[in-house]
């Protein structure tokens, strides 16, 4: 007799169905001195769950329907056993009621391949690899035929990469134990939320035909995943543009990133349900419209700032939301047509922009949604890292960017007509704003507060006028009744 819990049955069912979908309907369960082992074998991947607590030796082949029936949220025991020839049973208690079910025992397939063995060696990785693989598989296109865009590339230099032709994700800093780049086939295993946030180990296998298999170990789970031998994969390193001369950079605060992800659905959908205008014009504004709404709607991210020139782009809202959900604080925009590049110290995520002709211009009658002010948002914005400017090989001087050239030109024109004034920053101990940026932010907040107060006052006055008008009408009606009486 094999004993599991209803809680474990729910966990097994969720991960197995998420990983294999409708490809499998049978599971192998065995127990012994080495504990409980549950194995599932699919077309290009195999999955094993191992609980090391020993039990009596038993081996069963069960239909997946058993897990559907016995699953639950509590750790109540479930007993699985072979009743008689061709019949297996499951018994448990649910809300104090004893339940007992029997199932037709599946016949083993004699032509099924044997379950793969474990590799001789594993290389360790941190728990961040699971997050990286999850982000990578969410960037793939499983329907692609020309390139292996449904696969994730694991490289010998420790970087993984994925792309679907419209977006690309790359993250280095891992160990895969391979001497050349491999393409692991599509799998939904890494998207399972039930997987533990623990270190992951990776091993490699090859059969007699030279077919490579990558083995992932995380907690009690082991996944054997096949590789793509003949698929082509783009050179992602050549796709990533340099951010040295970006026209503008969005510095997205953590509070605004959460607000964007949680409230983006409040903006209307466009013709293809994905167009979104990002307008960096002193404020950080998201703008959208649809044929069913008479006015466009704006989302103003009050805790985020723009670095560089004003720019207005049209983007797929899903890609911008993904960058915010992944925690990128800097999104570089070279121009209104080149790909947007989100980068941090280890990761790169870029996506193609939509046509700038589809960008929506601001209007006076638009509906506005503002993110709540986070007075500690400056602490949530990382400092701007210093950048080394490229050197002009001819003049051996730093090459100025477009924004610095315009600033230099304006400064030269001003110095020709006015004497040079040297300004020195001074600290103010009473907490008042001292820099121009802080004064501008303070003035902006005061104007917004005054605008809100004026709107409330206007609304109150209108309400009072309506009340006075109703009172006058009521008095006039009473006078008419008195005259009739």
Burial class from Cβ neighbours inside 10 Å (0-12, 13-18, 19+) for residue 127 reads: middle
DSSP 208: T
The beta-strand segments (E) located in 34-151 are 35-41, 45-51, 58-63, 77-84, 87-94, 97-104, 123-125
CA–CA gap between residue 191 and residue 135 (Å, rounded): 9
CA–CA gap between residue 78 and residue 85 (Å, rounded): 21
DSSP 227: B
- Consecutive 10-residue averages of pLDDT for the chain (485 residues): 95 96 89 95 93 94 94 93 91 91 88 88 96 96 84 95 95 93 94 95 79 93 92 87 86 96 88 84 92 86 94 95 96 93 94 93 90 69 49 41 42 40 39 62 77 78 78 76 67
CA–CA gap between residue 403 and residue 388 (Å, rounded): 15
Q: Which of 208, 217, 214 is nearest to 45 (CA)?
A: 214
Q: What is the pLDDT of residue 417?
A: 39
CA–CA gap between residue 288 and residue 318 (Å, rounded): 13
CA–CA gap between residue 264 and residue 230 (Å, rounded): 40
Query: Structural domains in the chain?
Result: 2-104 (3.10.150.10), 123-238 (3.10.150.10), 240-380 (3.10.150.10)
Measured CA distances, 278 to 181, 361, 365, 380, 406 (Å): 37, 10, 18, 21, 24
User: Which helix H or strand E contains 478, and what residues bound it?
Assistant: helix 436-484
Q: Whose structure tokens read 């902006």?
A: 444
Tell me phi and psi for residue 457, to 5 degrees: -65, -45
DSSP output for 90-154: EEEEETTEEEEEEEEPPPP-TTSPPPPPPPS--EEE-THHHHHHHHHHTT--TT-SSS-TTSEEE
Q: Helix or strand or coil: residue 481?
A: helix
Q: Is the dihedral of CA 361, 365, 367, 373 positive or negative?
A: positive
Q: What is the pLDDT of residue 429?
A: 40
SS3 content of the chain, % helix, strand, coil (to 5): 25, 30, 45
Measured CA distances, 200 to 179, 182, 226, 293, 411 (Å): 19, 18, 18, 49, 55
Q: What is the pLDDT of residue 207?
A: 66
User: Which helix H or strand E contains 331, and what residues bound it?
Assistant: strand 330-333
Q: What is the pLDDT of residue 483?
A: 72
Q: CB-side exposure of 2: number of CA atoms within 13 Å?
A: 27
Measured CA distances, 4 to 10, 74, 91, 100, 360 (Å): 11, 12, 11, 15, 58
CA–CA gap between residue 137 and residue 161 (Å, rounded): 9
Q: What is the pLDDT of residue 397?
A: 43
Beta strands 297-301; 367-370: pairing state: parallel
CA–CA gap between residue 41 and residue 19 (Å, rounded): 11
Tokens at residue 187, please? 């799998």
CA–CA gap between residue 333 and residue 280 (Å, rounded): 10
**pTM of the complete model:** 0.74
Q: Which of 328, 271, 265, 274 is nearest to 299 (CA)?
A: 265
Q: What is the pLDDT of residue 391?
A: 41
């Amino acid at each position: 007799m094999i004993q599991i819990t209803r809680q474990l049955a729910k966990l097994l069912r969720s991960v197995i169905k998420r990983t294999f979908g409708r490809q499998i309907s049978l599971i192998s369960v065995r127990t012994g001195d080495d504990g409980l082992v549950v194995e599932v074998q699919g077309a290009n991947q195999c999955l094993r769950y191992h609980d090391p607590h020993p039990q009596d030796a038993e081996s069963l082949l069960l239909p997946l329907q058993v897990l559907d029936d016995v699953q639950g949220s509590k750790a109540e025991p479930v007993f699985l056993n072979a009743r008689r020839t061709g019949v297996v049973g499951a018994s448990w208690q649910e809300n104090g009621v004893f339940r007992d079910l029997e199932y037709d025992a599946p016949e083993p397939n004699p032509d099924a391949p044997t379950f793969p063995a474990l590799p001789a060696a594993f290389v360790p990785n941190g728990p961040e690899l699971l997050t990286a693989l999850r982000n990578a598989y969410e960037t793939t296109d499983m329907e692609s035929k020309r390139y292996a865009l449904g696969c994730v590339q694991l490289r010998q230099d420790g970087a993984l990469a994925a792309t679907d032709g419209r977006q690309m994700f790359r993250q280095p800093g891992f160990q895969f134990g391979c001497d050349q780049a491999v393409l692991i086939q599509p799998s939904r295993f890494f998207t399972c939320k039930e997987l533990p946030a623990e270190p992951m180990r990776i091993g490699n296998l090859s059969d007699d035909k030279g077919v490579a298999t990558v083995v992932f170990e995380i907690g009690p789970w082991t996944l054997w995943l096949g590789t793509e031998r003949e698929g082509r994969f783009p050179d992602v390193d050549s796709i990533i543009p340099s951010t040295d001369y970006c026209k503008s950079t969005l510095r997205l605060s953590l509070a605004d990133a959460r607000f964007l992800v949680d409230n983006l659905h409040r903006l209307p959908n466009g013709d293809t349900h994905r167009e979104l205008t990002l307008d960096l014009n002193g404020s950080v504004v998201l703008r959208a419209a649809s044929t069913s709404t008479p006015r466009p709607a704006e989302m103003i991210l009050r805790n985020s700032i723009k670095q560089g020139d004003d720019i207005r782009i049209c983007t797929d809202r899903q890609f911008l939301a993904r960058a915010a959900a992944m925690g990128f604080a800097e999104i570089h925009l070279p121009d209104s047509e080149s790909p947007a590049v989100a980068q941090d110290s280890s990761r790169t995520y870029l996506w193609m922009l939509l046509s700038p002709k589809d960008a929506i211009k601001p209007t006076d009658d638009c509906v506005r949604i503002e993110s709540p002010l986070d007075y500690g948002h400056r602490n949530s914005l990382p400092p701007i890292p210093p950048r080394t400017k490229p050197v002009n090989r001819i003049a051996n001087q730093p090459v100025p960017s477009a924004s610095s050239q315009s600033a230099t030109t304006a400064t030269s024109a001003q110095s020709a007509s006015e004497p040079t004034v040297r300004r020195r920053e001074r600290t103010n101990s009473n907490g008042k704003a001292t820099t121009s940026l802080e004064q501008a932010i303070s003035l902006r907040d005061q104007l917004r507060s005054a605008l809100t107060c004026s709107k409330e006052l206007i609304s109150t006055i209108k309400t009072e006028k309506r009340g006075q008008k109703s009172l006058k009408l009521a008095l006039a009606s009473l006078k008419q009744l008195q005259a009739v009486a």
